A and B are shown apart, each in its own frame.
Chain A
């Protein structure tokens, strides 16, 4: 699934602009692919930047493949929860383009700080999609090394990770790793609800005054569980950046091309030492907040249907078909790969062993604790006192 670095190569470009140069219907929204799959050559965002992408056919197909795979694996995880194999799942349904676009815009040296829903970004980082499932199955609490994968552990507390990303980005600057193509950039993911958190606003202040090489990537999926955007803000979220002193832009989060263009631009600015920026990826959470949620209690079907018409995958498929970049064999092959990867994921989730109870005492402190050791010993003694204990 991992492919190169889309948009960065200069070989094999499609020769000419394939569609008219146009602004999207919403002057505030950067869009390069309309819901009907019409390609817009370039567009000037509300930040005054002209956005465009220049992909090869192979790269276009690659983005489509990502979108389909990410959706399929997400659906499989939802199914696993429904069958009792996961305790909970936070589906990304509807947000595939926002995640694939920004995830593919990252360069290898960049660092990502996710919430608990960035399964698509994780996939685009080349990380085994099984990795976060331990958390949702309840066999571990995340359990990976952020530095190994350039992808922090999922963060459940809303907005807390934006400060971690800011500090990390300050460290990047202190290490002298900004400036030029090989500079490092950091991306912090969060949602529309998180923009009300103190931590997020503190992160905006810090990133600004320390000129941190950081992209704040807000997936505005319109809901914080049941609360609509109107309960979080009276102004478009991207405009908040101005008050903190850095650029903000709103992008069609269901448009993988525009999201890629906007994210790549912001990341490159950050890596070049030009400081932070805010991207508001305007999208919609098609599913529930998590598998524990029932969205029919707080939103109407017609709203969901309207967003269904803006589906990120359907528009990409329409574009590929119209431009004859992909044929039915390709679409069938992608579907088959998705099916196989989903089965593989399912089989490996079912094979995940439960941890030994005594392991709950592990890794509380890097240097350990005599009192905890004592408690562990007592627990072992108690546990072993049961007849037939296999422990």
Chain B
């Protein structure tokens, strides 16, 4: 078993390389993805090895990236589009929502758009505005799109390949502040036997309260659980992994046991994923709940200046504060 210690970014890079090797129809396209290897180096070395027709440096136009990728998909290609930063995806929003998401439906199932839209998302890197946003709710709200987020190197490696192999159009959210975090990756894990793409996973079993997160917040919640354990409180942490469709079977099972649920995301709370998840938990686990489902999120402001982002972003203390509140109800 070829298990290596890799950063999340490198795991994505190797996953993309495998996808290019396994299917000649896979093409990577985006701004600076070629010679530069992407601003985060996620496509590092791929153009050199696969050529500029497989790894395409595009003009600086996000709608153009997604719109031409639709045409390539109609032609039979499997485009993997990189949007350089979360805050730059909006010029492509029409193509994603009105075209990518609806093509299969409009064609009565006769046409598929097997496209992956990779977006480094979230804050915590001290960036200027438009570089730290969490736009997942916009996409999760759109029928026809699937939305996933990886939280560790092993998942990054497997999920990117699964997403590319899927015929569904998938928005693939990469936790940019976790790109440099390391973990063990089994590079030989056969995809067919891998954990299914659209499945949540319990990443830390516990008995006292259920904490739900995805992407960059999984690490934060695991740290919170470690701290809580020192205080004698046993938190169960679930990595949602798939944001659309949500996979909440394990969540319901967990909340029925713990009676308490806290949802954590960087995105603002208003009409966010947390609201949807809280509503569903309430419908399914009403008689098991010891307290309302609480949300720990970014605030309902634009993403703030970098010097105050630590106060904006949910952290260990805010997660534990919410857990405390579920016990004080």
Residues of A at the B interface (CB closer than 8 Å) are 113, 140-148, 152-153, 155, 157, 160, 162-172, 174-175, 198-199, 202-203, 205-206, 209, 362-367, 369-372
Q: Give B308-325 interface residues, CB cut-off 8 Å to A.
A: none
Quick check: is B74 within 8 A (CB to CB) of the other chain? yes
**Inter-subunit contact A153/B106 (CB<8 Å):** yes
Specify which of B59, B68, B106 lies most central, judged by the most chain A CB atoms within 10 Å of its CB.
B68
Complex CA gap A366/B72 in Å reads 18
A174 touches B53 (CB 8 A): yes
Number of A-B contacts (CB under 8 A): 146
Residue on B with the closest CB to A374? Answer: B245
B99, A157: Cβ atoms closer than 8 Å: yes
- The residue that A171 contacts in the complex, of B66, B75, B99, B245, with Cβ under 8 A, is B75
Q: Are the CB atoms of A364 and B144 closer together than 8 Å? A: yes
Q: Which of B75-120 contact A (CB under 8 A)?
A: 75-77, 79, 91, 94-95, 98-99, 102-112, 114
Q: Which residues of B contact A163 (CB under 8 A)?
A: 63-64, 66-68, 70-71, 95
**Contact sample, A vs B, 11 pairs, CB 8 Å cutoff:** A166-B68, A167-B68, A167-B75, A167-B79, A171-B72, A199-B67, A202-B63, A203-B64, A363-B107, A365-B168, A366-B114
Check if A167 sits within 8 Å of B71, measured CB to CB. yes
Judged by DSSP, the binding face of A is: helix
From the candidates A153, A155, A366, name the one contacting B168 in the complex (CB within 8 A): A366
Q: Which residues of A contact B146 (CB under 8 A)?
A: 365, 369
**Which residues of the partner chain B approach A160 to less than 8 Å between Cβ atoms?**
67, 94-95, 98-99
Of the listed residues B59, B70, B77, B166, the one surrounded by the most CB atoms of chain A closer than 10 A to its CB is B70
Given contacts A143-B108, A147-B74, 17 further A-B contacts (CB under 8 A): A142-B106, A144-B107, A148-B110, A153-B106, A153-B107, A163-B66, A164-B68, A164-B71, A166-B67, A167-B71, A167-B73, A167-B74, A168-B71, A171-B72, A198-B63, A202-B61, A370-B245
Given A157-B99, A160-B99, A164-B99, A175:B104 Cβ within 8 A:
no
Of the four ranges (under 10, 10 to 19, 20 to 34, 35 or more), the interface on chain B belongs to: 35 or more
The answer to whether A363 and B71 touch (CB under 8 A), given A209-B59, A369-B245, is no
User: Within the assembled complex, what's the spacing in Å between the Cα atoms of A372 and B104?
Assistant: 15
B72 touches A202 (CB 8 A): no
Expressed in whole angstroms, the Cα–Cα distance for A143 and B111 within the complex equals: 9
8 Å CB contact of A202 from B64, B70, B109: B64
Q: A199–B107 contact, CB under 8 A?
A: no
Instruction: Write the chain A residue with the least CB distance to B167.
Output: A366
Top 5 closest A-B pairs, CB basis?
A: A167-B71, A163-B67, A171-B75, A167-B68, A363-B109
